[in-house]
Chain A
């Protein structure tokens, strides 16, 4: 690059560094703060935000793992439950005997 080109670059750089600037009013921050005091906040919460807040509330570090864990726990409890449920036939026999007993009363 020629010296002249270099000089032009430097001059342009200097021009850009010294662009015109007018400082802000000293009370700008104050004005913003005062204006905000009279303004209500928008408390509209989207569904996604609500779910995020809910998880934050319960401090679930990894919701996916916690939910999967809960599911596995449920399955394990279900599989370990004692099989003492009455068979369907026994159940229907019980219902019939109950009905006949009822008729006997009449």
Chain B
């Protein structure tokens, strides 16, 4: 790869991608694959599916780089987060909804199950409950627990004000607190 390409900012890289540069595309992909994969995984909870979603999103960007419009003054990451989130939500809509278990199979106090199994159950239940949240609350939660995204940027991704985002997170947490009470 040409020296200096990795120092180029996203805007420069996207302009070059629009001109057909594979090098620029490679730099952009290497820069952000992990980050967008992490977000996709939060939604789909499956490595292969998350990888497919990120791969498709990047390939669509390569095929149609004109979709990114710099003059709209939004950051590439904000715009691309939105694309990945939409793809994840589409995938979830197509997927048959998973029924939540009515009864919480909690370990008894005597401790017949070991800590690892209990932890696993706790995490499974949490993921089920997050998946059952309303779409916007789920998105707010997933975006805000991504350490590389500020709340301000998360609000921009969702196209809402910061206050609205905070309210969505509060409601999501209140619901989870209620539904996960057996584990808290």
Contacts and interface: CB of A to CB of B under 8 A. Distances in A.
Contacts of A105: none
Given A28-B33, A41-B62, A41-B65, A15 B51 contact: no
Contacts of B30: 29, 33
- Of A7, A32, A37, chain B has the most CB atoms within 10 Å of the CB of A32
A93 interface: no
Which bracket fits the contact residues of B? Answer: 35 or more
B145 A16 contact: yes
Contact of A24 (B33, B180, B183): B33
Given A16-B141, A22-B47, A8 B59 contact: no
B25 interface: yes
A46 to B, nearest CB: 8
B180 A15 contact: yes
- Of B173, B181, B184, chain A has the most CB atoms within 10 Å of the CB of B184
Contact of A33 (B26, B42, B126): B26
Interface of B: 20, 22, 25-26, 29-30, 33-34, 37-38, 41-42, 45, 47, 50-51, 54-55, 58-59, 62-66, 71, 122-123, 126-127, 141, 145, 173, 176-177, 180-181, 183-184
